[in-house]
Structure 1
Amino acid sequence: MGSVRKASAWLGLVEDNDERYYDDEYAEGPQTGTGQAWVTDPRVQTASEAAEETGRRIATVTPDSFRDARAIGELFRDGVPVIVNLTTMDPTDAKRVVDFAAGLIFGLRGSIERVATRVFLLTPADTQVVTEAAGRPTDGFFNQS
């Protein structure tokens, strides 16, 4: 194959009939199966691999629409506590996500707690949330009386 023909084939102007450059073992396209790493949605933030190994992870999800509820469900189903920030959502879609979260916690025996306005914490059944009153001693360090 001449150099002009090679350049034309490289630019895609003509078909390249020279098969010697192709590797038969190379698989094109995305791989499927267990060898493929799970790609996380950029709006979902999880802890590092070390925290994952010890089982101490919390995910933060800021959905844009109801379609992002699947990421919340998958994380919660895997036993990861999820903080859902609904402040950027339309109120009707936010209500749908809260209804979805309520179904999740009912089905998987978890709990839901309001952290702030339109921010919720979903915790699996094996996770205990320590409230302010239970975690603070009565005569602690900051007692000004």
Structure 2
Amino acid sequence: MGSVRKASAWLGLVDDNDDERYYDDDYSEGPDSEDAWVTDPRVKVAADPPEEKGRRIGTVTPDSFRDARAIGELFREGVPVIVNLTSMEPADAKRVVDFAAGLVFGLRGSIDRVSTRVFLLSPADTEIVSGAPAAHRSDGFFNQS
């Protein structure tokens, strides 16, 4: 892949499907790996009960607008939800984003864009911490000058 294509994919201007050829789907992690996910592969929630509130994050990859109900049910329980809309048609994806915006407005949460067509819905009591790097120190360990 050329550097212009890589930069465009990083900015989200084009789909980056060339990296899929490097992944092998035929591997298995062992006999217990099948029990790690919920039966519906589009909804993944921690299997163990959380020790304290706010320790679960749900991920939903809807195929159509009908799957928006799973997003709403998780969010109403106070679970932050990552919504991956990359496999949806643009018109249906827009409807899901509108639904999510109404959901977070009604429950006083927030919606943040994680990447192209991937959103994080956070309940009102959840704090989002930015992953921006701290200011570089001149005497830091990785200083190469």
Q: TM-score range by the shorter chain?
A: 0.5 to 0.7
Match of 2:80 in 1: 81
Identity %: 76
Tell me if 1:94 matches 2:93: yes
TM-score, L = length of structure 1: 0.65
Separation (CA, whole Å) in 2 of partners of 1:40 and 1:77: 21
Matches within 5 A, 1:121-132: 121-132=120-131
Larger Cα Rg: Structure 1 or Structure 2?
A: 1
Root mean square deviation, CA, Å: 1.9
Partner of 2:116: 117
Task: Encode CA deviations 1:50-94: one digit per residue, 9 max, x unaligned.
Answer: 4x2323000010000000000000000000000000000010000
Write out the 4+ residue segments of structure 1 that deviate beyond 3 Å after TM superposition. Answer: 39-42, 140-145
Residue 42 and residue 74 in structure 1: after superposition, are their counterparts in 2 closer, same or farther (change >3 A)? same
1:137 alignment partner in structure 2: 134
Number of the residue aligned with 1:53: 51
Where 1:132 maps in the other structure, the secondary structure is coil
**Structure 2: stretches of 5+ with no match in the other structure:** 1-37
Paired residues in the alignment total 104
1:131 Cα shift? 1.1
AA partner of residue 59 (structure 2) = T
Deviation at 1:144, TM superposition (A): 4.8
TM-score (norm: length of structure 2): 0.65
